[in-house]
A and B are shown apart, each in its own frame.
Chain A
Amino acid sequence: MSTVIRIENLSKQYRLGVIGHGYLFRDLQSWWARLRGQEDPNSPVLAWSGQLNVRGDRVWALRGVSLEAEGGKVLGIIGRNGAGKTTLLKIISRITAPTTGEVKIRGRVASLLEIGTGFHPELTGRENIFLNGAILGMTVGEIRRKFDEIVDFSGLEKFIDTPVKRYSSGMYVRLAFAVAAHLEPEILLVDEVLAVGDAGFQKKCLGKIGEITQEGRTVLFVSHNMDAISTLCDRVAWIDQGEILAEGQVKEIIDQYIDSIMTAGPEDRKAGEPAGKIFSFKGYHLVDDEGQVVDFARVGAPFNIVIHYGCQSEIRSARLMVDLVFGHAKVPRLFSCPYEFTDAELARLPLEGSLICRIPALPLAPGIFDIRYAATVNGHLADKVAALVMVRENEDLFLAGRPGMGVDPKLSRYRCQFLVDFQWSLGSPGEAIEARRLGEMLLMPK
């Protein structure tokens, strides 16, 4: 079949400074300051300047992307968090316009950037099916024809005339996905939608996407779930820092991608910083609590990283500090785990060995994160390594349909990258309302 999406030299630039600037008063203030030759009191302070693709107050979310999608095929898009995958889908779905380049599309596009868009809590399930369907681009006639099918798929026959504000979060997602799954666009954009719902429902959704392509329609599928990508996709494009790094056969690209995540070890050491100083790192791997080497970290699960090192000579009466920093493209330093060795520990530090950093419950949402670990001796940087780690969904914890946890799109924790332990309660002590404790969830036996 022929090309249904042709992306030509597409770029998207965001201006950092203007975000949050928008007050007429401040514009006048800036103008008045410039007029008198003073410094603009509102000039932006750069927060992201550690990033490669930032120049001045501008950041390129996409740079010269050219890509073609063939009709009736599933094109997977993979890449780290902040690589530009979502921006690409947003441009194709016309939510925002590109800075340069163009996209040509043949056929109707529907996107599942987030399901349940426009649901109104006061309206019944039935009314919301119509409203949501129309927002997603269906006509009332189409929705009416598919209505029974949609209700069937959602499994909510009994509650279809109940206002959705009385729905549980799981029911809400079921209904929302049921509508979205019955769109009949020629091109469907899917972004991480499979992060919601219980495992059974997810299977149903994956099946539905497979079915859609059987009917000769095209799907663009963005996901961190490599299993889903490899089962569903015909081709894969790998985006990094706003550019297409590789594109081609699914297995080939996924292998390259996972390689880059898993083995981005010592090779990533920056040029001009040769190894073999007083203290240097040799490589790392992740292990589970039983000591088995694992490829992925899991949300909320124990995270153990074993880092091998070597010293030129024994380090005595010196200060040795190590640090492990987690970050991603948008926030280079999410959190860090610094540690200074005691004299007693230094005294029995072998010349070669390994350090283990353990995080009892990894507070990160699914995705790809940067990790950097560094060592300083007497305050001078001895060695530094950058790598990537993939955090995957932890079905044991979050997909059991527990209320409020990761299933309600409105409350979804995965709108954030960083998860903390928290609890809500009323002002008076002892009268806790609905407690949502991450800690409790994590301590629950499997």
Chain B
Amino acid sequence: MTGSGKALGLRKMKTEPAIRSGADPVSPAGEQWTTVIRPRHPWFHLEVGEVWRYRDLVRLFVRRDFVAQYKQTILGPLWFFLQPLFTTLVFTVVFGRIAKIPTDGIPDFLFYLSGTVCWGYFSACLVETSDTFVKNAPIFGKVYFPRLVVPVAVVISNVLKFSIQFLLFLFFLIYYYQGGAPVAANLWVAALPLLMVQMALLGLGCGILISSLTTKYRDLSLVVSFGVQLWMFATPVVYPLSQIPEPYRRILVFNPMTAIVEGFRLAFLGASSIGVQEVILSVAVTLMLLFLGLVLFSRIEKTFMDTV
């Protein structure tokens, strides 16, 4: 059992031929191969460890994304501020002032900003990894490196963008706190890194799942931006979970983003109706999607060059 546990990705290519050539009647005993290329590998052969060997490449991709983005836009990082700011303003007017949705007693601007910042990171991870194969086909067709390096780098690049937007959120949090608003950041703030990791893994999982499917079905890529929008409305971004009546609530908690957004609000604003059960469910669904994505991705990456 321990053997198959190891096989779940963390085993390096280097250790494996020793096991294989022993079982291979063709090669004489004692031959050591570093790589064995076969038509198919078992489905659990995920080679996540390979990404670690290529960590320098991940770093350089992140750097490239940052430099390229920074050099090409006039407004530069300012753009990162404007996007959540305008979205939040629109939400505040539409959902707060016109529709008058209650916000758990939090100032509505702050409430919507917290949702927008979280959702922004997740959706960026999802959308930008969902075209991994199609967008990188020219590079993938020329040289081998673990394909997973690309989506992983995207997820990490987006942390920078999130950090800038998070600072914006902190600024308004302090501003409202000074103004005497009933917001209470608490010890749960320490769980932020975990929330980030979960969002990153969820975005990565869904993104690579979609990118694998789009190698066969191109029209799925059209669904992505549209689907992400719909998904946002199935997440407590513009409303609090506490406002959702029971039968819907039971469905909503299967959406892993529900617990993440609510958890973020619990930590920084001190207002949420999230419980332990919901968090566990959310983590479980996240891991399931990630695993499914990895399995499909590692299967597709071997032959997608023949179909793209």
Contact = CB atoms under 8 A, between A and B. Distances in A.
Interface of A: 6, 8, 14-15, 18-19, 22-25, 27, 90-109, 111, 113-114, 117-118, 120, 122-123, 127, 130-131, 134-137, 139-140
B246 interface: no
A95 B140 contact: yes
Contacts of A25: 219
Contacts of A98: 37-39
Q: Which 4 A-B pairs have the closest CB atoms?
A: A97-B302, A24-B217, A94-B144, A103-B37
12 contacts: A6-B27, A22-B218, A95-B143, A97-B37, A97-B39, A106-B32, A106-B33, A113-B142, A113-B143, A117-B139, A134-B57, A135-B143
B35 interface: yes
Given A120-B64, A134-B60, A96 B35 contact: no
Contacts of A127: 63-64, 67
B64 A104 contact: no
Interface of B: 17, 26-27, 32-40, 54, 56-57, 59-61, 63-64, 67-68, 71-72, 139-145, 215-220, 302-303, 305-307
Contacts of B54: 134, 137
A58 to B, nearest CB: 12
Given A104-B27, A107-B34, A140-B56, 18 more contacts: A22-B218, A23-B218, A95-B142, A96-B306, A98-B37, A98-B38, A104-B17, A104-B37, A105-B37, A106-B32, A106-B34, A113-B142, A117-B142, A118-B139, A127-B67, A131-B61, A134-B56, A137-B54
Contacts of A139: 56
A95 B140 CA distance: 7
A31 to B, nearest CB: 13
A108 B35 CA distance: 9
A199 to B, nearest CB: 25
Contacts of B61: 131
Contact of A105 (B33, B68, B141, B216): B33
Contacts of A123: 64, 67-68
A355 B288 CA distance: 72
A122 B68 contact: yes
Contacts of A105: 33-37
B68 A135 contact: no
B274 to A, nearest CB: 36
A96 B56 contact: no
A131 B57 CA distance: 7
Nearest to B57: A134
A212 to B, nearest CB: 18
Contacts of B220: 24
Contacts of A97: 37-40, 302-303
